[in-house]
């Protein structure tokens, strides 16, 4: 991939391709013993994991708002 210091159409297109590729890659973690990257069993793709995480955050906020008695979000 070319340098992304210059916001040319080509660089932005390349950046989009890299991002799309990362989203469609399987969820992985770094093994702290070996330092190697290993896929997470049944983790799905990064895109799916981000959707699950966003839903979890939204659900937690709704719960905090429903438990709020003075109009402020905790």
Q: Render pLDDT for 5-20 as a digit per residue (tens, 0 to 9).
A: 788 999 999 999 999 9
pLDDT of residue 72 exceeding 80: no
- Whether the CB-CB separation of 41 and 52 falls below 8 Å is answered with no
pLDDT attached to residue 44:
96
Write the pLDDT tens digit of every residue in 10-64.
Answer: 999 999 999 999 999 999 999 999 999 999 999 999 999 999 999 999 999 999 9
Q: What pLDDT does 6 receive?
A: 82
- Tell me, yes or no, if the pTM score tops 0.95: no
């Amino acid at each position: 991939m070319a340098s992304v210091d210059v916001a040319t159409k080509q660089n932005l297109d390349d950046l989009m391709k890299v991002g799309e590729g990362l989203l469609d890659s399987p969820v992985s973690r770094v093994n702290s013993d070996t330092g190697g990257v290993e896929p997470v069993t049944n983790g799905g793709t990064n895109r799916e994991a981000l959707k699950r995480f966003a839903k979890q955050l939204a659900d937690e906020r709704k719960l905090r708002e429903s438990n709020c008695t003075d109009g402020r979000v905790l």
